[in-house]
Structure 1
Amino acid sequence: YDRGTRRQRGSRAHGAGDGGSDEVLDASTLSYSTRVKWFVICFASGILCSILGTALLFLPNGTKLFAVFYTLGNLAALSSTCFLMGPLKQLKRMFEPTRLIATCVMLLCLILTLCAVFWWGKKGLAIIFCILQFLAMTWYSISYIPFARDAVMKVFTSCLS
């Protein structure tokens, strides 16, 4: 038996269309402690990349480094949850109706940040896209906490009125 699962190893042939590849992409093929360790490693490296990128912002040509490290940090933090629930489940949950807009904005801003800094050469625009990355990632993240979005909306509404 595979460690951490109830499937017998080699119980079915892995071929196209038989669902065998789903086993590889299923989080349960890793032990719980391994999944948690890799989650922590990915999440911590994401935070470290984001902090490093922010520190590099103040160097000459630091905007490029900031944009790259900040984007890599967000990607690492986002992918860390794949270890907890598995990549397929993560993708399905990312594109659920409650997260669809936040996910699309976040992914678009990740791409636009790199475009702004490397192809368009617009440092200010890259920083704006990084800020939008942060906001979209925050909105996406709180969507996993029950009623958190409602609470945030109430706070902002009460502050504006």
Structure 2
Amino acid sequence: MALLLDRCNDSYALLLLNCRQGKVRLTKWYSTYSQKERTKAIRELSGVILSRGPELCNFVDWRGRKVVYKRYASIYFCMCIDVDDNELEVVQIIHHFVEILNIYFGSVCELDLIFNFHKVYYILDEILIAGELQESSKRAVSRLIDAQDSLVEMAKEEASLIRSMIAQVTK
């Protein structure tokens, strides 16, 4: 167990989104681990968080680290951080992430995370880089996401045009 954490020099080792039933909806690792280590860490961490009552604090000591989590609707947003990091700052980062998801999806729900996970990863990568807060402006992140969406739409239109040209040539 200690080996897993001793190798991690990053500020945030892990971002984890779990539903109330314990199903993992999203993970982002900021250090390299084997699949076996990841599975074990997720199982342990999920058990710790899901077993806590709503009246308890949102900070947990776990394996020599701190876990900061916040529940929004049926999803637990969790970040594993160093013991020296500021828990309240991490709560703000989680809230910032959720606010941007709400801006993008309307009122974000679990199904948005399941069916649009690639967009959620893109949004997360615009906010956090290597586990550190990169962009604190919701407006800037929204502009970047909109630009990315327009690029994707242009690529789809070009692909459709190329497919139709190929179909006409092969007839």
TM-score for the superposition, normalised by structure 1: 0.24
> Greater share of helix residues, 1 or 2?
1
TM-score for the superposition, normalised by structure 2: 0.23
Q: More relative contact order in 1 or in 2 (CA 8 Å, sep 6+)?
A: 2
